[in-house]
Structure 1
Amino acid sequence: MKTNTKTIITYGTFDLFHYGHVRLFKRLKALGDKLIVAVSTDEFNALKGKAAFFSYLQRAEIVAACKYVDMVVPETHWQQKAKDICKYDVSTFGIGDDWKGEFDELSILCDVVYLDRTGEISSTEIKNSLADKGAPTSPAVKDPNNNSHDNPHDNPHDNFDNKVSK
């Protein structure tokens, strides 16, 4: 069913969330009424040969907390983009211009836009900089009660599920 809502969708790992991600989401949200962010799962990142610092659930929680994001869904494979566009009645697919031309085939389903990246920041550069300084390689989440926070349902104070689709 078609609605009058203009829905925008984007995809990414969104590891080490930074102001470049916020600016991307702000610009995407300005293109429509609803912004859906598909966050790559740990399993999908492994298939791409990538490893994220934070787990999928942690990254989804961080992305969901951004005021420009209306919904977070998992990205599990390359081919899901076309299905998601149809499923969520997407008007515009948007992504950074480092992917320019890679998703032009989606233009038969919706508008495709490649946005300029925030040039002076990237998660890869942050990781490399931290590695050069001998920073830890995994998040050290300390909880005085020794509770794990990998699963948002473990902590009753976590409430991001209203934006996150599993």
Structure 2
Amino acid sequence: MKKIITFGTFDVFHIGHLNILRRAKELGGTLIVGVSSDDFSFKKKGRFPFYQENERLSIISGIKYVDSVFLEESLELKIEYIKKYKADVLVMGDDWTGKFDYLSKITNVIYLERTPTVSTSSIIEVIKKF
């Protein structure tokens, strides 16, 4: 059975998150999801997530497409996570296109199109206005 791995912050869960998890699972096999830690999210985005890492882990583990979750601590550790979980496929959103091609030596890298017109950052900006 194929093992598929993907990563994300998954803050303020929305339809775009659900779509990428569903589409990753449809590739067949076991879906393993790395959820960015609070500290790692701050380093990537310059802000802490709205939901704490334990809450985001719980949300993602409750999604029917997801078989297991773990806490992602760093972009530089992706190769270690892929090896640890013996992932056959790495799925990332197309906003990362090309950035993980170097991993194609150890796994199949697939970039899936993001859901247009939805992003956590834009949702948070709209909420701030209220």
Which among 66, 69, 72 is matched to residue 72 of structure 1? 69
- C-alpha displacement of 1:32: 2.2
Per-residue Cα deviation, 1:88-127 (whole angstroms, up to 9, x for no partner): 1101000100111111101001000110000021111110
Which residue of structure 1 aligns with residue 89 of structure 2?
92
Once the two structures are superposed, the pairs formed by residues 122-141 of structure 1 within 5 Å of their partners are: 122-133=119-130
Aligned mates of 2:97, 2:129 — CA distance in 1: 30
**Rg: which structure is higher?**
1
Q: Match of 1:33?
A: 29
Number of residue pairs the alignment of both structures matches: 129
Work out which of the residue numbers 89, 100, 104 in structure 2 matches 1:103. 100
**In the TM superposition, what is the alpha-carbon distance from 1:43 to its structure 2 partner?**
1.4
Match of 1:60 in 2: 57
TM-score (norm 1): 0.75
Q: How large is the RMSD of aligned CA atoms in angstroms?
A: 0.9
Q: Which residue of the other structure, out of 13, 16, 28, is the alignment partner of 1:17? A: 13
- Counterpart-to-counterpart distance in 1, 2:115 and 2:75: 24
How much identity, in percent, do the aligned residues show?
Answer: 42
Structure 1 gap segments, 5+ residues each? 134-166
Unaligned 5+ segments in structure 2 are none
- In 1: Cα distance, 2:118 partner to 2:9 partner: 15
Specify which structure has the higher proportion of helix.
Answer: 2
| Structure 1 segments (4+ residues) deviating >4 Å | none
